[in-house]
Amino acid sequence: MATAQAAIEIDELPGAGAGATIHVSGDWTFGALRKRRYRLARIAADLQHRSAKSLRWDLTGITALDDAGAVWLARSLRTAEQIDVNPRYGAMLTQASQGLLVERAEGGLDPLAGVVRVGRAGIDFWFHLRDGTALLGQLVLDLFRVTRRWRDFPLLELSANVYRAGVSALPVTMLVGFLIGVVLTYLSALQLKRYGADLLVINIVGIGVVRELGPLLASIIAAGRSGSAMTAQLGVMRVTEEIEALSVMGVSVTARLVLPKVLGLAIALPMVSFCTDIAALAGGVLIAKLTLGITPAAFLEALPRAVEVVNFWIGIGKSVAFGFAVAFVACHYGLRVLPNTDSLAAGVTQSVVASVTAVILLDAMFAILLRDVG
Amino acid sequence: MSADANSQSDVETVVETVVEVQKLLNKIGEFVLHRELDFEVRAGEVMTLVGGSGSGKTQLVRVILGLKRPSAGLVRVFGVGWDDPSYARVRAARERMGMLFQNGALYSAFTVYQNVAFPLRERGGLDEEAIRAIVYAKLAQVELEPKHADLLPASLSGGMVKRVALARALALSPELLILDEPTAGLDPDRSDAFVRLIKRMRSEYRFAVLMVTHDLDTLHDLSDRVSVLADQHIIASGSIDEVRSVPHRFIENFFGGERGRRAFTAA
Ligand SMILES: Nc1ncnc2c1ncn2[C@@H]1O[C@H](COP(=O)(O)OP(=O)(O)OP(=O)(O)O)[C@@H](O)[C@H]1O
Ligand SMILES: [Mg+2]
């Protein structure tokens, strides 16, 4: 299979302006054209300058043609008066020249793009609210239905979720909690030492950890770990049409997939934040001993007096709400994923951002509502 | 210019056997899927690979494509092994083949247009206008209209997905086209149109086809040679008539059944 070079020869007809015959021969394939691209570009430019009329193209010498070659020729042939071509290649040339004619709408610069964007964001927000409310309502209905038919209760999924979001999150969450406890205690100890108010460190660390930091840390890590996984799982199930398959089998998607996730995280997160509290307090005890010389026994004895037990329950209660919010937001975004990979990636990102935001908003609300307690 | 020409011909070799598999041993875990398997596709021919469901046809194609590394044996495509140290040679071999996956494998985030344009853009050397012309020519070849060009794969019908995937596989005018169940999921009319399309394209420029199919009509209309995969290796290879005369239970069932008789007596 010898490859002939792509060749093009221009035969001037006698007499000025009488025109020319152009003989094309050889292999007109992408590989062959690439070898001679500079020469061919020069010839194409040359042909552009000729008067459009009286060019005869003789393509009968072509030994091989592919799309790249056909498009090259089709572009030059636009000014041809007469074309001789092997019928074998006729269809390909016609298709290439028709392909050149198709218009593509180019996205120009829209002066109103900003307005459109804001409007779209507003509409999107409205859709989120609407769909979120619908999902919440559906969950409540599912919960009612499930309590009437316990056979339908997704117990297996629930326990799997508690394990995944709870037990397996403990190492990383407790490590972070311990380190935050260390940093918080160290910084407050430095300040308090100057005023001689050493023992106050127990109040600050105790309240801060039990009421705020424990639940907040646990739920932010849960948003990153479990929330993103939930969105991705539901999103992939949408991409592979598993969600549709479930609905066709008459299985409620919310009851089977969303409910166990939401309940699971609402159950797991208080336990995780309890463990985080302990780890953070351990960090506090260690640093209080090292910097202020407060013995662990003294620290633990003073703790219940410094921190009313209601603070602990507020922390646990908040964790339940945070867990619910993180899983709910994650599932909401997961179910909105469109069946393509871009939408999946965007959905996971938005889900994590939105659930962290939701947790912090909720925390602010709790802080205002419970400002007189504890 | 001459330096340019050299770099091209260095990596592209002209071979008579486009796919060459010798003494292939292919295991998945401890499970032996192929043993002592010899297989070849010659330049310009249509080779059809048949075999029972689960006999390992798709897995063999994956080995040929270099998606799975064989446990032992030789696999060469255009004379290049996938473990070849030269990136340029491997890449050139890849650009000379097109693949139609069993389920299309379109990029879900790209529109139809972008899917077909993707291999052209990756190869380089063409301007946007030429790419556009080729994309619309390919879409026309598989009987899709320009108005379908901006749809996302999720909003295509199953048959349309197949056709877009075929257009994408053909975009680089490959010398080897690999088709895994090309007509499964198409209506009989479209199957016939598919056969006609491949025939016409092969009359315009010659390329080899490796096709996996269960469809006897497609097999009968297109194949130059047939290979039968059973018992972990190729039990017969040759023209349809040669293969049909080989005594083996699978061959008798496959070609001898009612459907087989219909497909082969009609011609
Ligand atoms: N990742 C894997 N792990 C284990 N076994 C596998 C794996 N992938 C495929 N197999 C097995 O390999 C065998 C061959 O599969 P393959 O997909 O090649 O079949 P096929 O011949 O293409 O069948 P069909 O005609 O149904 O498409 C099957 O028995 C399958 O169970
Ligand atoms: Mg298969």
Same domain, yes or no: A221 and A339: yes
Closest Cβ opposite residue A95 in set B126, B140, B173: B140
Amino acid identity for residue A228 in this structure: S
pLDDT of residue A145: 85
Same domain, yes or no: A166 and A270: yes
Q: Which residues of A touch B14 (CB under 8 A)?
A: 1, 3
pLDDT in tens, B153-188: 888 888 888 889 989 988 888 889 999 888 887 788
| Mean pLDDT, all residues of chain A | 87
Same domain, yes or no: A70 and A160: no
Q: What is the mean pLDDT of residues B75-83?
A: 89
Same domain, yes or no: A64 and A167: no
Q: Tokens 């006729």 — which residue? A: A90
Same domain, yes or no: A192 and A320: yes
Same domain, yes or no: A163 and A70: no
Strands B97-100 and B176-180: parallel
Q: What is the mean pLDDT of residues A300-311?
A: 89
pLDDT of residue B160: 86
Please identify, in words, the CATH class of the domain defined by B17-96+174-267: alpha beta
pTM: 0.74
Task: Tell me which chain A residue has its CA closest to the CA of residue B92.
Answer: A31
Q: What is the mean pLDDT of residues B75-84?
A: 88
**CATH code 3.40.50.300 region(s) in chain B:** 17-96+174-267
Between CA A156 and CA A264, with CA A140 as vertex, the angle to 5 degrees is: 35
Q: What is the mean pLDDT of residues B83-88?
A: 84
pLDDT > 90? residue B191: no
Distance B58 CA to ligand 1 centre (A): 7
Q: Inter-chain contact B125–A37, Cβ cutoff 8 Å? A: yes
Q: Tokens 């799997």 — which residue? A: A160
Residue A66 near chain B (CB below 8 Å): yes
Instruction: Find the range with the poorest average confidence among A21-30, B44-53, B142-151, B255-264.
Output: B255-264
pLDDT > 80? residue A262: yes
Interface predicted TM-score of the whole assembly (ipTM), two decimals = 0.72
Q: How many Cα atoms sit within 13 Å of B237 on the Cβ side?
A: 14
Contact in structure between A169 and A225 (CB atoms under 8 Å): yes
Which residues fall within 8 angstroms of residue B80, CB to CB, at 6 or more apart? B13, B89, B90, B92, B93
**In a domain? residue A147:** yes
- Distances in whole angstroms, Cα of residue A366 to Cα of each of A116, A118, A209, B204: 36, 31, 16, 74
pLDDT of residue B250: 87
Domain that holds residue A311: 140-369
Q: Which two tokens stand for residue A26?
A: 């050889």
Region of B144 (left: φ > 0; alpha: ψ -120 to 50; beta: rest) is beta
CA–CA gap between residue A335 and residue B93 (Å, rounded)? 42
Q: Tokens 């020409």 — which residue? A: B5
Residue B173 near chain A (CB below 8 Å): yes
Which residues fall within 8 angstroms of residue A238, CB to CB, at 6 or more apart? A334, A335, A337, A338, A339
Amino acid identity for residue B83 in this structure: D
| Count: domains in chain A | 2
Q: Pick the closest to residue A221 from A260, A276, A264, A261 (CA basis).
A: A276
pLDDT tier at A313, thresholds 50, 70, 90: very high
CATH code of the domain in which A57 resides: 3.30.750
Order the strands of the B208-212 sheet from edge to edge: B97-100, B176-180, B208-212, B46-51, B225-230, B233-238
Which phi and psi angles does A222 have, rounded to 5°? -65, -35
pLDDT tier at B9, thresholds 50, 70, 90: very low
3-state secondary structure of A101: helix
**In a domain? residue A80:** yes
Amino acid identity for residue B237 in this structure: S
Element (H, E) at B33: strand B31-42
Instruction: Find the range with the poorest average confidence among A35-44, A46-55, A350-359, B107-116.
Output: A46-55
pLDDT of residue A364: 95
**In a domain? residue A48:** yes
Q: What is the mean pLDDT of residues A23-40?
A: 82
| Mean pLDDT, all residues of chain B | 85
Instruction: Find the range with the poorest average confidence among A16-20, A348-352, B23-27.
Output: A16-20
Residue B123 near chain A (CB below 8 Å): yes
CA–CA gap between residue A211 and residue A225 (Å, rounded)? 22
